[in-house]
Each structure stands twice: as C-alpha cells, then as structure tokens.
Amino acid sequence: MNHATTYRGSWANYDERRVCVPIDTTDVDNFDPQKVPTISQLLEELDNETSDAEGKKLKDYKRTSLNGSIQVFEKFLKKLENSWKGKLLEQSDMKREF
C-alpha cells in the first residue's frame, strides 16, 4: 500500500468529507452524522454575507451550519467551568482560606 498516494487521494476529495463536531450527550439518539456539514458546504455558507436584524455583520461561525455544534461545545465548556468553580470553592473551604 502506498501511503503517499492514499494521503494525496484523501485531499483530492476534501470537500466531500464531513467535519468533526461535538455531540450533545443528552440527545445522542437524534444525532444524524449525515447532517454534519462538509467543508464545501461551510465554504459556500461563508461566501454568503449575512447580517443580523440590526444590520451588524454576524461572526463567521454563526453564519454556518456549525453554529448549533458550537453551542453544544460552549454548553459543555460552561458545565466544565462550573464544576471547577465548585471544586475550587470546596478546596478553599477545606483549607479554610476565605
């Protein structure tokens, strides 16, 4: 097997490949991998200029089908941040550092 050929071949079809997205673990049964956007789909979405109701330009990720996936990731990060805050408070209580 020629790995260089395989590697180059994978780049030849990059626009047909789906991007990696986070999955909402509370809603796994409704995740459809075929609905994950492809690179070419994202590029097309970025080519379309979009503004919000007030005429302000939207951030790039908000203009694409990745917006929902980014919200899932931000929700995960928020939970992680809150769990660390709780652990830090617990540690300071144990050390009696107020």
Question: What is the pTM for the complete model shown?
Answer: 0.62
- Residue 25 CA to residue 57 CA, distance in Å, equals 32
Q: Do residues 38 and 16 make contact, with C-beta atoms less than 8 angstroms apart?
A: yes
> 78-95: per-residue pLDDT in tens?
988 887 877 766 767 666
Mean predicted lDDT score pLDDT of the chain: 77
Would the pLDDT of 8 be above 50?
A: no
pLDDT for 70 equals 92
The structural domains of the chain, with segments of one domain joined by +, span: 3-95
